[in-house]
Amino acid sequence: MTQMEMFEPNIYRQVIDFLEKDQHFREKLHNTDMEDIKQGKLAKELDFVSHHVRTKLDELKRQEVNRLRTLIKAKQDLEGGNDIAVDHQALLKQFEHLNHMNPHTFEVEDLDRLIKSATKDLENYDKERHEDFKKYEMMKEHDRQEHLKTLDEGERKKEEEHYEEMRKKHADHPKVNHPGSQNQLKEVWEEADGLDPDDFDPKTFFNLHDTNGDGFFDEQELEALFTKELEKIYDPTNEEDDMVEMEEERLRMREHVMNEVDSNKDRLVSMDEFLVATKKKEFLEPDSWETLEQNQAYTDEEMKEFEEHLAQQEQDLSQRADDLQKQRDELQRQQEQLNAQKIELQQVRSEAALLTKARTTLCVFRPSLGKSLHDQDRDNKLNMRGICKSVAVQCDQLCNRLLSTLTTKVSFQKSSSTA
């Protein structure tokens, strides 16, 4: 995987797909104006939702652990020769992506293949967790630097001093025992189990913390052993302590113990593996443990590429926002034009109706007017009839022109609507 590919892992695509269906994100998108989108304020909502997605992945991990435990138990039954029947068809139904397996025979070798598949899924999960954390740390540093740019020199100096103070305060904690060492397990034995450290017994300890009694430490049971150590470093009430970093530290501790103790690499620690590990020199005299603050999660080169990636995303988002604004302006212009045409058409219709009414009234009035003038002077009668005829002709002409205009407007409106 190249460094740039690190920023486009499968989990990122899954997050994007999930966001498109997420009610919360859709509402935020609709309630955010163009300027806020350009300034990247919507990205904070993306980060918020990604934590929700991570909880879904945590559930996926628990399912994978249960899947692995099922396979290990089936393998033990076959190896034990206890004539315990294994319903291989039912077992295979749990793993649809493995339907290419031979459905007629189901031996230990087949289970080994399934176990490797399950452990590979869990390894990929851990890799995604590490990549998510690295991006989280880089984004946190990016946001800090962007905030500093908004401050004047005096405020920036105070902010930097506060940042250094918090770093030193976080690093000032009791010594952290090497995960999986005798000293670390003895503290759990004494403080969590309430037992005398002088009576520490590895076998009893294993049975106490194998909470489901299946004869193995799975990943969750192992991680629970590190809670006391993590409490030395992290307190959710302290400003300087980040709980996301605490979970990354827990993951590092579990991976380290797995690498040291899990000899057959099935991502489960059996009692035999655990007891063998307690007899090693590393168990009694371990090296010191370096915590996260002593190991930066990313390199300068990775941070540089991350910044470039963010800049490109911001540019793409800004371009998209500009395009949407142009489309919105064009639609608004077309709507205003259509509204103006509707008003003009309504005026034409009103004028046409008035003229039609006037023409009808005049046509009725003209004959009766002629008849009422029989006792007047002939010249006056003829003159009045001529005036009425002239007015009627002009009304006819004006009415015809308005009707012609009306027809043109209607045709134009239909063609505009069709376009």
- pLDDT digits over 84-135, tens only? 555 555 555 555 444 444 444 444 555 566 666 666 777 788 889 999 999 9
Of all residues in the chain, the percent with pLDDT exceeding 70 is 58
Of 398, 308, 321, give the one whose Cα is nearest residue 359.
398
Looking at residue 55, what is its pLDDT? 62
- Distance (Å, rounded) from C-alpha 306 to C-alpha 227? 32
- Distance (Å, rounded) from C-alpha 39 to C-alpha 121? 38
Of 262, 304, 260, give the one whose Cα is nearest residue 286.
260
Within 10 Å of residue 352's Cβ, how many Cβ atoms? 17
- The yes-or-no verdict on residue 32 having pLDDT over 70 is no
- The yes-or-no verdict on residue 8 having pLDDT over 50 is no
**2-16, 17-31, 44-58, 289-303: which range is least confident on average?**
2-16
- Distance (Å, rounded) from C-alpha 408 to C-alpha 338? 15
- Distance (Å, rounded) from C-alpha 311 to C-alpha 145? 14
Residue tagged 């919105």 (tokens): 328
- The yes-or-no verdict on residue 215 having pLDDT over 60 is yes
Residue tagged 């996926």 (tokens): 60
Specify the DSSP element, H or E, that contains 419.
none
What is the end-to-end Cα distance of the chain in Å, rounded?
50
In this structure, is the dihedral angle defined by the CA atoms of residues 301, 302, 307 and 312, taken in order, positive or negative?
Answer: positive
| 3-class secondary-structure state, position 269 | strand
Q: How confident is the model at residue 164 (pLDDT cuts 50, 70, 90)?
A: very high
- Residues 6 or more apart in contact with residue 375 via CB below 8 angstroms: none
**pTM above 0.95?**
no
Instruction: Quote the tokens at residue 316.
Output: 């793409």
Residues 351-396: tens digit of each pLDDT: 777 777 766 765 555 555 444 444 445 555 556 566 656 666 666 6
Whether the CB-CB separation of 185 and 261 falls below 8 Å is answered with no
Of 360, 348, 361, 341, give the one whose Cα is nearest residue 404.
348
Of 197, 167, 194, give the one whose Cα is nearest residue 182.
197
Mean pLDDT of all residues belonging to the chain: 76
Higher pLDDT, 178 or 23: 178
Looking at residue 211, what is its pLDDT? 92
For residue 195, give the DSSP letter: -
Number of H helices, E strands in the chain: 16, 2
Q: Characterize 1-20 residue by residue with b for buried, 16 or more Cβ atoms within 10 angstroms of its Cβ, and e for exposed.
A: eeeeebbebebbeebeeebe
